[in-house]
Structure 1
């Protein structure tokens, strides 16, 4: 069993235990262990074989035994028992904004609610309002949340899509005769959420590959099965389409099944204007087929410089590629460090040292620690005394870690309802940097919320604005805020704006990241990591930046440690 599958099961066990009302610390232990397993990647089997799994931070003895059982046998009776004890529809209720495990448990016990349909019927009949601890206002918000869930359809997070598609790509690649295989569609373009999965492969004879595909253990139902394409429903309910083409057709099909509909139409029109005909199988001129061995050669044949997959949306990329080479987009290897990371000083699952070692193992040369400020009592926010004590521990660790790596002292400081910050200026001045974020009073009118955030952005001690809209993808919309006004103020104040790389957030989005860059704002890619595995979420933030067309120079945390150390100061990162 792959690490991603083990992590998914551990996460689900933590959630199921929450729905049962188990001890919060026990539930959190499963989520922390899931993050730790994700951080191991392909090293999980080796850790088990060498007996070193116990050395991994965040994995206790009991969960360690469960992980070993999962990997070695492919099953876990305690997991299956947990699933059998609760109606399967309860987990889906967690998608409704404002519904946490405690409320779901109360609804299930009082009204026998076991699905989204049950929840709607209870809300529309007024039964929820009559429950102790709920009321008419909560009932109305639940019905609004249901409408939001229904509007998102069956879409999934980008991180979930990669997890689901990885074993399928691996299985297809291992088939005899397959010479190339790639993920296509919106996932290759790195959209925030994904509808269906699209995989393309090249082989002289696609039939045996498609036959194996429909029989994979991940497949719950076969929707169609032909000689060049098969569609299935995966165990999680997501549709996956697999297409096979001949090797010489692959570059054309890869381009076609990657680009948005608008991009593909624009490129076909361009071909027609040049006396050519382009489709998913090839490019033809008056003298016959024009062979292309890659997407780059296809673009060249159409008089264009290469267009990265993330930009293929028909939003000016074709004109840019005609005028000249598109400047290189940022890559994960360009990041030299990151900020907005939590530890067990607040609500994180790992120690300062564990986070530092994990960052260094991922090739980073610095890590910013930004635990929650004192108002976030629900997340273990730091009192002023604990701020001082954490700073002393960071200083001691920096002496231990050596000159090639540094921990920066930061804080994720709550922006209070009136736009003031959670600590006085004399405390803020003691940090290397300050991430200012909204964590409360989400329902303020747009004018009030905008003024609130603008006041924080202007504060001389604020270095960067965290998750600017507060959205949670497929869970809740962001609060009402005039982002254009916030971006303008950030440009004026020299305040950085965060691209929050957590796959549940991806906030700022690509469109506003592009606008911020164009206004002269520098972006910073942060993982909002709450455990060592969360550092890997930086890849999702890079995907947002690439969709925005950002290069390395547009992102603050691509600079070397020496420059970062010189620029960081209370009051901003400078120009």
Structure 2
């Protein structure tokens, strides 16, 4: 087992032990060990082989024994024993937002609830509300959580699906039988969630490709194994989570590849619009070709298909039948922003709050990615759960940033903060502290249950504070885990026009907030957006590319994204905002 697999196994042990009511200190030992191993820069197996596991903080004799077993055998008898004791339904219940191990254990002990189905029945019969520590509001939130889980069943986050898909792609792409290979479907259109993986290959000899696909590592079931299409159910470990997905492989002749690529990329609605366009030309368009009574039109690429129908190429991210055909006809398709145009990112966390890496480590990583600047946005003082910064610690961090800026050549670090928007719309620091920053990201982290109008006014009040530069994760949603809080996004965007507040596209794949639909609306209103990874580690810095995907789906161009500006342009902009604030202060 590698680091992530060992980490996932230990995390599962901790969860199962907590469900069984085991000693909290023992539970935390496994949870902490899981986190430590997931963040190791070297291989856990090397520590096992050298006998140096004990040198890792928090890894005592018992854990050393367990980890050694996992690394050497891929199994842990203790984990199997725990799985046998805990009904599988209890683990599934943990997927409901706000329902932790203690509450799940209480439901099991007091009402013998061991499945989502039984939990729903108990809630509908008002049995959960009567339990100590629950109540009517919690019962209602559980019902909403069950409904939410049902609505997203079978879907996987974009980053997780991409990891599984790229593993399959890399497995096949270098085979001598493969002529061309691409991912299709919602993955290629960069939707925020993905149901299954579609892989398309052109080849003259499909059999070896199909064989390698159905025998790939991680395949837990072969759903079909044919000459031109095979389907598998595959499991992979992604960032400590076990991801199970269906993956379909289609192999076509190379002359059919462009047509199949366009067809299986979708969306269904875009394909219908394209077929209608072909009919106007007396042609038939499908996954096999573009044909007519008098002649067939050969196309080597997707671009050729669009050209044959007198259309410019339409990028996959735009293919949702939301006006892209009409825009193509009018010559008004956007020149979409590209990842390489992002010059730097803001809203990043360090060990000063709840991040895993230091200021210097984050800065060096950003520079290695080719970025020209980096802004930090650790949590503010009231968010104690995330080790928010007191004014004294703010000054210490600023001093360290000044020192780093004096050492780093060709790279600029901006001083920022993710400042909590408090319940009444005020900010978490006084103006004297806020004046210390180059920029301020205002975010909501508490009181999610506010009525819609109250939440909207809370955010708008904060936006009108002259220290606020940008608004972080507008709705607070977590993809496939919880809906955002109730807020009038239109009113917030309208206010951003007046206050000139930058609106964040939070690029963390767990958030992707603003969504692409509201990105389009922001574009219409002329609101400037900023793509931020909300990074909590050096690896997370690369998440900004998921934000670029959201921006592209929202029809956004380079000039509509703040962090495509050069370092000097950003410095000038932030300096002007800061001067305006200090004058009003």
How far apart in 2 are the matches of 1:74 and 1:423? 53
Helix, strand or coil for the counterpart of 1:568?
helix
The residue that corresponds to 1:230 in the other structure is 230
Question: Are the aligned partners of 1:371 and 1:411 in contact in 2 as well (CA < 8 Å)?
Answer: yes
Tell me the residue number matched to 1:349. Answer: 356
Q: Would the alpha carbon gap of residues 94 and 398 (structure 1) be closer, same or farther in structure 2, given more than 3 Å must change?
A: farther
TM-superposed deviation, 1:79: 9.3
Q: Answer whether contact 2:435 2:578 (CA < 8 A) is retained.
A: no
Residues 1:528 and 1:76: Cα distance change in structure 2 (over 3 Å): farther
Give the direction of change, closer, same or farther, for the CA distance of 1:25–1:489 in structure 2 (3 Å limit): farther
Question: Residues 270-281 of structure 1: matches in 2 within 5 Å?
Answer: 270-281=277-288
For residue 442 of structure 2, give the secondary structure of its aligned residue in structure 1. strand
Shift of 1:116: 2.5
Q: 1:146 to 1:9 in 2, by over 3 A?
A: farther
**1:28–1:419 distance in 2 versus 1, CA, 3 Å:** farther
What's the counterpart of residue 484 of structure 1? 490
CA distance in 2, matches of 1:550, 1:408: 25
Query: Cα distance, 1:467 vs. partner?
Result: 0.3
- Select the residue among 320, 325, 346 that pairs with 1:318: 325
Give the SS at the match of 1:371: coil
Q: How many angstroms apart in 1 are the aligned matches of 2:537 and 2:253?
A: 44
Deviations 1:86-135 (A, max 9, x none): 55444433321222344335445555544423433443454433443223
Unmatched runs of 5 consecutive residues or more in structure 1? 54-58
Please give the alpha-carbon distance, in whole angstroms, between the structure 2 residues aligned to 1:201 and 1:16: 41
Seen in structure 2, the aligned counterparts of structure 1 residues 352 and 422 have a Cα distance that, compared at 3 Å, is: same
After TM superposition, give the deviation of residue 146 of structure 1 in Å.
Answer: 0.8
Match of 1:56 in 2: none
1:204 equivalent in structure 2? 204
Q: Which position in structure 1 is the counterpart of 2:17? A: 20
Checking the alignment, whether the CA contact within 8 Å between 1:366 and 1:407 is kept in structure 2 is yes
- 1:206-221 map, 5 Å: 206-221=206-221
1:414, distance to aligned residue in structure 2 (A) = 0.9
Matching residue of 2:21: none
Whole-angstrom distance in 2 between the partners of 1:434 and 1:285: 59
Structure 1 stretch displaced more, 202-211 or 260-269: 202-211
* Higher radius of gyration, 1 or 2: 2
Task: Report the more deviating stretch, 251-260 or 10-19.
Answer: 10-19
Match of 2:177 in 1: 177
Per the alignment, residue 74 of structure 2 pairs with: 75
- CA change 1:362–1:457 in 2 (3 A) is same
Normalising by the residue count of structure 1, what TM-score does the alignment of the two structures yield?
0.89
Per-residue deviation, 1:66: 11
- The 5 A counterparts of 1:408-423 are 408-423=414-429
Q: What are structure 2's unaligned runs of at least 5 residues?
A: 19-23, 51-55, 236-242, 581-585
Output the CA distance in 2 between the equivalents of 1:168 and 1:67: 31
* Cα distance between partner residues in 1 of 2:30 and 2:321: 49
Given that residues 231 and 242 in structure 1 are in contact (C-alpha distance below 8 angstroms), is that contact kept between their aligned partners in structure 2?
A: yes
CA RMSD of aligned residues (A): 3.2
Q: Is the 8 A contact 1:496 1:572 kept in 2?
A: no
Do the aligned partners of residues 570 and 262 (structure 1) sit closer, same or farther apart at CA in structure 2, a change above 3 Å counting?
same
Q: Report if aligned partners of 1:429, 1:570 keep a CA contact under 8 Å in 2.
A: no
CA distance in 2, matches of 1:353, 1:233: 42
C-alpha distance 447-84 of structure 1, shift in aligned 2 (>3 A): same
Shift of 1:219: 2.0
Residue 300, structure 1, aligned to residue 304, structure 2: no
Which shows bigger deviation, 285-294 or 297-306?
285-294
Instruction: Give 2:412's aligned residue.
Output: 406
Partner of 1:99: 99
How far 1:316 moved relative to its partner? 1.3
> After alignment, is 62-71 or 339-348 more displaced?
62-71
Greater CA drift, 205-214 or 550-559: 205-214
Query: 1:175 offset after TM fit, Å?
Result: 3.6
Q: Secondary structure at the match of 2:311?
A: coil
Query: Take 1:468 and 1:67, find their aligned partners in 2: how far apart are those partners?
Result: 43
Deviations along 1:65-86, one digit per CA (max 9) or x if unpaired, are 9999899879364895576675
- 2:11 partner SS: helix
Structure-2 residue corresponding to 1:30: 34
Go from structure 1 to structure 2 and tell me whether the alpha carbon gap of 1:228 and 1:17 turns closer, same or farther (over 3 Å shift): same
The aligned residue for residue 384 of structure 1 is 391
Where does residue 136 of structure 2 map in the other structure? 136
2:583 aligned partner: none
The separation in 1 between residues aligned to 2:102 and 2:349, in whole angstroms, is: 25
Distance 2:78 2:491 in 1: 49
Residues 334-372 of structure 1 show CA distances to partners (whole Å, capped at 9, x for unaligned) of 111111111111111111111111111211121111111
User: How far 1:222 sits from its partner (Å)?
Assistant: 2.4
Question: What is the aligned counterpart of 1:367 among 353, 359, 374?
Answer: 374
Matches within 5 A, 1:477-516: 477-516=483-522
Note closer, same or farther for the CA distance 1:102–1:533 as it changes in structure 2 (3 Å cut): farther
1:417 is paired with a residue whose SS is coil
In the TM superposition, what is the alpha-carbon distance from 1:420 to its structure 2 partner?
A: 0.9
Residue 365 of structure 2: SS of its match in structure 1?
helix
Q: What SS does structure 1 have at the residue aligned with 2:191?
A: coil
Shift >6 Å, 4+ stretches:
47-51, 63-74
Which secondary structure does the structure 2 equivalent of 1:277 belong to?
strand
Tell me if the contact between 1:349 and 1:531 (Cα under 8 Å) persists in the aligned partners: yes
What is the Cα deviation at residue 315 of structure 1? Answer: 1.1
Shift of 1:258: 0.4
Structure 1 residue 187: Cα displacement: 0.9
In 2, Cα distance between the equivalents of 1:79 and 1:315?
A: 53
Matched, 1:10 2:7: yes
Measure the CA separation in 2 of the matches of 1:66 and 1:186. 44
